[in-house]
Amino acid sequence: MRIAAVTSHVLKLRAEAAYLGALPDGSTPPGGYSVREPWRSLYSDRYETLLVQVTAEDGTSGWGEALAPVAPEVPAAVVDLLLAPVLVGADATAPRPAWVRLRDLMRERGHLVGHQADALAAVDIALWDLAGRLTGRRVADLLGGAFREQLRTYVSGLPRPDDAARAALAADWVRRGARSVKLHLGHGVTEDLATVDAVRAAAPELRIAVDAHWAYPVDAALRLARGLAERGCWFLEAPLAPEDLSGHAELVSRAELPVAVGEALRNRFEFAQWVDARALRLAQPDVARTGITELMAIAEVCAARHVPVAPHHSVGLGVALAAGLHVSAAVEDLAAFEYQPTSVEVGTRILTRPLDVAAGSASLPTSPGLGVEVDADAVARLAQES
């Protein structure tokens, strides 16, 4: 069976609340792209993504998704101009050889990262979904089998503008079955620890992690890590600038809780550098930035250094979520999977039925491929609205 067509779909979906909620002063983020201080990156007021549909000669389609929260048109152009012409006519049941061929198209030009990697990830996920559908097997089974059918999840973010509201939301999540939560902070060491204290007081049952959004220099991150460890917190994510490998290594050597890194990394070679430098204790690859093939390679790199994996998931919709569940099931040393409540809710708009994902656990889909049915009519309609 050969691949007959590759189609990209750019989506920009509106929701009741922007990703990560209101601004610190309680106001609504402006339209379009903006920087949400104190974080440095651009964010959109919509849920933006790139879906890729790979169709075989018999009409069967596999779906993939890139983590493209800003300007998904860019990886879409990579798919349309560079990847699709090479894929048409290839074996529809051989995702790994296809991945290697596509990876090498721009490899010597430094394009194993950035938008090229995001485009590759979307196509790779679609290839695995297609291969599973054509062979009648789940992606997790194609990867060698699932270690688990139920996956432990943690709630990512308490998108409220002040500590009192965050604490109240944390208590509500406990009532809905949450056992762990990650706070999106980076507002200052004193302020971050105060937020942790407020959440802990309202929901003492919760295991708490902190995402610092790359906001701190080493000395401040050390103070934050010390305070979090004293409070029995779970891990500290993305504390320093994402390119500061040596700074992270220094922090890891002195911190008394795990330091988590990975959403900015896209391939096994990057992860090998970080784990060999002992610059992380918890790896967080995002399947919508790595693809399924590369994430499994990353997991093996981490396993060889005894580093557990906790896959990242943020604004990805239902396809990225399903892919994340399959690789999480197939990874040997899994710490947990990230549950973004609003992203999961928005992501159901492109599916015919929702995935079984909740505050404390998620079920691995049972149908062939990724186990989700994409509503192609809804995708076409939403793409026109974007």
Quote the pLDDT of residue 26.
73
Tens of pLDDT, residues 140-172: 999 999 999 999 999 999 999 899 999 999 999
Q: What's the pLDDT band for 214 if we cut at 50, 70, 90?
A: very high
Mean pLDDT for the chain?
95
Superfamily of domain covering 3-141+377-385: Enolase-like, N-terminal domain (3.30.390.10)
Spatial separation of the C-alpha atoms in residues 236 and 258, rounded to whole Å: 6
Spatial separation of the C-alpha atoms in residues 330 and 23, rounded to whole Å: 37
Could you tell me if 342 and 169 are in contact, meaning their C-beta atoms sit under 8 angstroms apart?
A: no
Residues ≥6 apart with Cβ < 8 Å to 66: 49, 50, 52, 72, 75, 118, 119, 121, 122, 288, 289, 320
Tens of pLDDT, residues 37-57: 887 788 888 899 999 999 999
Pick the CATH number of 146-375 from 3.20.20.120, 1.10.1040.10, 3.20.20.70, 3.40.50.920: 3.20.20.120
Domain spans in the chain, listed from the N-terminal domain onward: 3-141+377-385, 146-375
Question: Could you tell me the two tokens for 168?
Answer: 């109240």
133 pLDDT higher than 90: yes
Tens of pLDDT, residues 306-356: 999 999 999 999 999 999 999 999 999 999 999 999 999 999 999 999 999
Spatial separation of the C-alpha atoms in residues 142 and 130, rounded to whole Å: 11
DSSP letters, 241-288, are -TT-HHHHHHHHHH-SS-EEE-TT--SHHHHHHHHHTT--SEE---HH
Quote the pLDDT of residue 378.
92
137 pLDDT higher than 90: yes
Tens of pLDDT, residues 248-306: 999 999 999 999 999 999 999 999 999 999 999 999 999 999 999 999 999 999 999 99
Could you tell me if 309 and 286 are in contact, meaning their C-beta atoms sit under 8 angstroms apart?
A: no
Could you tell me if 277 and 247 are in contact, meaning their C-beta atoms sit under 8 angstroms apart?
A: no
